[in-house]
Amino acid sequence: MKQTFGWRGLLGVLLFLAIAWGVALPATAQGQSGITSPAAGTAVTGDVPIFGTAVIEPFQKYELHYKQEPSGDDAYIYFGGGTTPVNNGQLGIWQAGGLPPGSYSIRLRVVKADGNYAEFFAPNLSVNQGPAPTPTSSEPTPTSIPTATFTPAPQPTPIVGAVQQPSVEGESALLPTATPAQVAAVEGGAPAAESAPAAADLAAAEGGVTAVLPADSGGLTRELGEALAFDMLRERFWNGVRYSALFCFAIFALFGGKRLFEWVWTQFR
């Protein structure tokens, strides 16, 4: 009797431990779930990643909701979720950039297979109520070094119609200065030969020395042109003679080669 009670007592202890383990495991898993980021009272803007843990036994799914405060539980709006447990990872992304500025709350609902669920919250989130915090750096901002700008010196403006020739020492007493009447005569088309005597007379009157221009400069130019034309004609004539000789030689070679080929063909056929 004592031995029978001992076996039954051992079985009862084992059964009790199994039931206690099955009850304690879901409670422990449920206690691990929650939202770790963003923390309560955080200022957020734009797309906000939601991090945390969503585990429960037996697991079915998890859901993410948000609402603007103050409002009731029926004001929560679904924005994300999943059917796979998440352990200390990203649960979803809350697109808060288009929401009106204000205070909001996020709710994480972890649902069991039988429909029961556990809920976790991240309250008092300040949305679009100021600039998002930016990371600061202890390094000083580098100061830009100004770049020197090169400005070219202004160039002198040439005077149209006035040409200044460089003066050579000793030539001022030898060269005559043209009078306005002589300049007008040259610009109006007067021959250079006609202005030469006036320049010579002016130089003689001033006691200077001047160069005497040839009176027949036009005839010399004409003779030079005729000589060049004759040389060109003679060169073209000899070029024609050379080309004619080459052409005749080519014709002779063609017919001579033909005759030679016929003779060879006749001899060795």
> pLDDT tens digits, residue range 132-185?
555 455 556 666 666 666 666 677 665 555 555 555 554 444 455 555 555 455
Distances (CA, A) of 216 to 149, 170, 192, 194, 221: 62, 30, 11, 11, 9
Tokens read off for 102: 């204000």
User: Are residues 76 and 13 part of one domain?
Assistant: no
pLDDT of the residue at 183 = 47
In a domain, 183, yes or no: yes
Same-domain pairing of 48 and 65:
yes
The boundaries of the domain holding residue 183 are: 177-214
Q: 266 and 200 in one domain?
A: no
The Cα 64–Cα 84 span in angstroms is 14
Q: How many CA atoms lie within 13 A of 6 on its CB side?
A: 3
Assign residue 98 the CATH number of its domain: 2.70.50.50
> For strand 43-44 and strand 117-127, is the pairing parallel, antiparallel, or unpaired?
parallel
**In a domain? residue 166:** no
**Cis previous bond, 131, omega within 30:** no
What would the pLDDT profile of 77-95 be if each residue is shown by its tens digit? 999 999 999 999 999 999 9
Q: Are 237 and 201 found together in one domain?
A: no
Here the tokens at position 146 are 């100004």
Residue with tokens 């930016």, as numbered in its chain: 134
Per-residue pLDDT at 124: 94
pLDDT in tens, 1-27: 444 456 666 666 676 665 655 444 444
170 found inside a domain:
no
Percentage of the chain exceeding pLDDT 90: 34
The answer to whether residues 197 and 225 belong to one domain is no
Q: Is the pLDDT of residue 57 over 90?
A: yes
Q: Could you tell me which of 79, 22, 29, 77 has the C-alpha nearest to residue 54?
A: 29
pLDDT at 140: 61
Predicted confidence (pLDDT) per residue in 96-140, tens digit? 999 999 999 999 999 999 999 999 999 999 998 865 555 455 556
Give me the residue label for tokens 């976790």. Answer: 120
At 191 the pLDDT is 45
Per-residue pLDDT reduced to its tens digit, 24-53? 444 434 458 999 999 999 999 999 999 999
Tell me how far apart the alpha carbons of residues 210 and 199 are, in angstroms, rounded to a whole number. 8
Q: How many domains does the chain have?
A: 4
Residue 196 has pLDDT above 50, yes or no: no
CB 124 within 8 A of CB 105: yes
pLDDT digits (tens, 9 = 90+) for 209-265: 444 445 455 677 777 777 777 888 888 888 888 888 888 888 888 888 888 888 888
- Is 264 in a helix, a strand, or coil? helix
pLDDT of 262: 85
